[in-house]
């Protein structure tokens, strides 16, 4: 659910304002309404944002370094440490560039060996120019070697490196690639490379020392800057009145925190007003759900927060998402791995990561359940349709096989689940209309819901004689259709012209008919993904068995283990990724659309330390 908000306005004397803001920040319950800032005010914030960004980069860089035991530091200025670190990083980048250039020159000189450029210059003074070339060996032997004054220096990779001598001023055109070499010796370049590598090694030691001594200080500085930034944003959002003597601040507080805020305000005597939000206002969104649904709030946030006035759909899509994930992955072995892995992780990770692991545990349980229902365990597909006729199994497996759902059953269940979620979304859409506009604006939606929920299934049951009393089913379909069609066609825009209502009803008919079919068919991907991951797992099992039989012995067993580990690792990764993404798509497109989800809400972010 969305926690209701109250809008608070404060009037504070300017000399008491700083203290008031500090206390308000410590209280941490008010989401400040920010005003539009001019360029000069934005520049102040940009500078602090840039500093905060630099601190984040420095902290991430140092956190990657292996530090066994942090050391105490006498330094107290985190910004000074940041500048020193950035200066070292800049020099390190310069050394990286120098090293890259050096290695490029070394690569160019290596085929020619270590020679002195002074000798080349002396020849030039004697009116002899040396030019450096490379050519394919065949071309060199057939076209070049007998026609010019040259000396072969090296033969590498089918290419001849040679020097051609010519008189100064003489023009010689040769069918080979001329090399322009750096005018330094190979020994000099190699020596410089070693010097830079030594500097880099020393720099790495200094970075390790920074991580050991100053990482905590940088984190403290980050927290301080974050608090200052939050404080500055609030100050800049303050309205000044009475020649800057009075300060006016506005913000939102959830009703479950209003007693805490008002107790402080009564104690300090600050003047304030508290009102409920108006229809046109957009309060921030704070979600409050039970322990199960709360785990899925992070999934809903991947799309957007709900609008303040509408329903929070998190508790409504949570069980569907869990089941859909299990349906897509659909392997009891993979499900057990996820469940056991997350249970173990819950005993090791920090508190802030535990909700994600709990979510993973529920998804693992759903996967295990769907794997048992579908009869798949690490790619072993136990349904009788996957084995030759007459194949015998142990009694307990034979008994279990009687309860395994076939592929046709799973496909039908996928479509049924899609139909159920779509219709459920349509009822939520009606509830949202009642909540936002009033009951009369939801009457037409209830009419469509009756048609989709009762008329269509009853018609299908009677038409295809699925039930014995087909005539009664058709009568139910007709009566429910008439009852639903009246508001759907003639009361969809209350207070408007009846002809307009009829036109809107016809258009809604087209949208419902085409949209419902397409939306329900989208859920067949649940069955398709589950089947594909099971088949791929089974393929790796067969490949492993065939490979081990062909090799035999201990080596064959090792080959089988490697193929199984690689194959199931790859299959698990791809299937888990698809099982995460496709239920998201079904939730955010099919379910949200049919539930009339508007979204666009802004997260509740209180002003706090």
Q: Tell me, what's the pLDDT at 417?
A: 92
Q: Is 424 inside a domain boundary?
A: yes
- Within this chain, do residues 214 and 266 fall inside the same structural domain, yes or no? no
Handedness of CA 20, 22, 26, 30 (dihedral sign): positive
- Within this chain, do residues 130 and 27 fall inside the same structural domain, yes or no? no
Q: For residue 68, is pLDDT > 70? A: no
| Cβ atoms of 295 and 498 closer than 8 Å | no
pLDDT in tens, 378-398: 888 887 777 766 566 677 777
- Within this chain, do residues 490 and 348 fall inside the same structural domain, yes or no? yes
Domain of residue 245, residue span: 1-35+237-286
Q: Is 87 inside a domain boundary?
A: yes
Q: Is 405 inside a domain boundary?
A: yes
Q: Is 232 inside a domain boundary?
A: no
pLDDT in tens, 169-187: 788 888 888 888 888 888 9
- Within this chain, do residues 367 and 446 fall inside the same structural domain, yes or no? yes
Q: For residue 370, is pLDDT > 90? A: yes
Q: Is 256 inside a domain boundary?
A: yes
Q: Which two tokens stand for residue 541?
A: 């099992």
- Within this chain, do residues 370 and 415 fall inside the same structural domain, yes or no? yes
Q: For residue 114, is pLDDT > 60? A: yes
- Within this chain, do residues 210 and 180 fall inside the same structural domain, yes or no? no
Q: For the chain, what is the domain count?
A: 4
Q: Tell me, what's the pLDDT at 37?
A: 63
Handedness of CA 316, 322, 328, 332 (dihedral sign): negative
Mean pLDDT for the stretch of residues 19-41: 80
- Within this chain, do residues 254 and 345 fall inside the same structural domain, yes or no? no
Q: Is 28 inside a domain boundary?
A: yes
> What is the C-alpha separation between 600 and 304, in angstroms, rounded?
6
- Within this chain, do residues 249 and 311 fall inside the same structural domain, yes or no? no
| Confidence grade of residue 581 (pLDDT, cut at 50, 70, 90) | very high
- Within this chain, do residues 127 and 1 fall inside the same structural domain, yes or no? no
Q: Is 514 inside a domain boundary?
A: yes
- Within this chain, do residues 302 and 395 fall inside the same structural domain, yes or no? yes
Q: For residue 550, is pLDDT > 70? A: no
Q: Is 375 inside a domain boundary?
A: yes
Q: For residue 74, is pLDDT > 70? A: no
- Within this chain, do residues 314 and 222 fall inside the same structural domain, yes or no? no
Q: Tell me, what's the pLDDT at 140?
A: 78
- Within this chain, do residues 297 and 388 fall inside the same structural domain, yes or no? yes
- What's the mean per-residue pLDDT of the chain? 85
**pTM: predicted TM-score of the whole model, two decimal places:** 0.74
Mean pLDDT for the stretch of residues 261-286: 87
pLDDT in tens, 475-489: 888 888 888 878 777
> What is the C-alpha separation between 515 and 593, in angstroms, rounded?
10
> What is the C-alpha separation between 381 and 397, in angstroms, rounded?
12
> What is the C-alpha separation between 322 and 364, in angstroms, rounded?
9
């Amino acid at each position: 659910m969305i926690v209701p908000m109250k809008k608070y306005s404060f009037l504070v004397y300017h000399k008491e304002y700083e203290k008031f803001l500090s206390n308000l920040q410590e209280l941490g319950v008010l989401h400040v309404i920010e005003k539009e800032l001019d360029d000069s005010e934005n520049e102040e914030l940009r500078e602090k944002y840039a500093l905060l960004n630099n601190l984040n980069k420095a902290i991430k860089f140092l956190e990657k370094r292996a530090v066994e035991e942090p050391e105490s530091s006498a330094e107290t200025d985190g910004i000074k440490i940041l500048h020193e670190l950035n200066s070292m990083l800049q020099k390190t980048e310069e050394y990286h560039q120098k090293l890259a250039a050096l290695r490029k020159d070394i690569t160019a000189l290596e085929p020619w060996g270590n020679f002195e450029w002074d000798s080349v210059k002396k020849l030039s003074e004697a009116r002899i120019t040396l030019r450096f070339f490379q050519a394919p060996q065949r071309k060199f032997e057939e076209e070049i070697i007998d026609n010019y004054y040259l000396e072969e220096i090296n033969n590498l990779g089918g290419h001849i490196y040679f020097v051609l001598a010519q008189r100064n001023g003489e023009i010689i055109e040769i069918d080979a690639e001329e090399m322009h070499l750096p005018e330094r010796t190979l020994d000099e370049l190699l020596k410089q490379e070693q010097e830079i590598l030594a500097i880099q090694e020393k720099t790495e030691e200094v970075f390790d020392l920074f991580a050991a001594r100053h990482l905590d200080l940088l984190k403290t500085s980050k927290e301080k800057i974050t608090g200052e930034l939050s404080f500055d944003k609030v100050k800049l959002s303050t309205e000044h009145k009475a020649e800057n003597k009075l300060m006016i601040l506005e913000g939102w507080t959830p009703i479950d925190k209003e007693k805490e805020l008002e107790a402080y305000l009564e104690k300090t005597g600050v003047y304030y007003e508290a009102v409920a939000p108006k229809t046109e206002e957009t309060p921030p969104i704070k979600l409050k759900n039970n322990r199960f649904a709360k785990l899925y709030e992070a999934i809903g946030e991947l799309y957007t927060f709900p609008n303040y006035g509408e329903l929070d759909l998190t508790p409504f899509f949570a069980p569907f998402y869990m089941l859909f994930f299990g349906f897509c992955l659909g392997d009891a072995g993979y499900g057990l791995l996820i469940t056991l892995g997350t249970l173990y992780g819950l005993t090791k990770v920090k508190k802030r990561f535990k909700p994600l692991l709990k979510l993973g545990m529920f998804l693992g349980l759903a996967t295990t359940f769907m794997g048992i229902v579908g009869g798949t365990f690490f790619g072993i597909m136990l349904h009788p349709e996957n084995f030759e006729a007459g194949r015998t199994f142990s009694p307990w497996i034979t008994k279990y096989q009687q309860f395994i759902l076939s592929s046709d059953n799973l496909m039908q269940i996928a479509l049924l689940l899609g139909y159920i979620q779509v219709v459920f979304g349509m009822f939520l859409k009606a509830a949202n209309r009642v909540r936002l506009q009033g009951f009369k604006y939801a009457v037409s939606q209830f009419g469509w819901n009756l048609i989709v929920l009762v008329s269509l299934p009853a018609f299908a049951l009677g038409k295809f004689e699925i039930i014995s009393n087909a005539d009664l089913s058709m009568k139910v379909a007709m009566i429910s259709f008439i009852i639903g069609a009246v508001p759907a066609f003639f009361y969809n825009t209350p207070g408007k012209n009846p002809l307009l209502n009829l036109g809107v009803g016809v258009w809604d008919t087209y949208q419902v008919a085409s949209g419902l079919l397409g939306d329900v068919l989208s859920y067949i991907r649940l069955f398709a993904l589950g089947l594909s991951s099971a088949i791929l797992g089974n393929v790796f099992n067969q490949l492993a068995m065939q490979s081990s039989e062909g090799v035999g012995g201990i080596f064959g067993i090792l080959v089988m283990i490697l193929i199984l580990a690689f194959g199931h690792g790859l299959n698990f990764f791809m299937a888990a990724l698809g099982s995460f993404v496709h239920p998201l798509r079904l939730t955010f497109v099919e379910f949200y659309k049919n539930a009339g989800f508007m979204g666009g809400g802004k997260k509740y972010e209180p002003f706090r330390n």
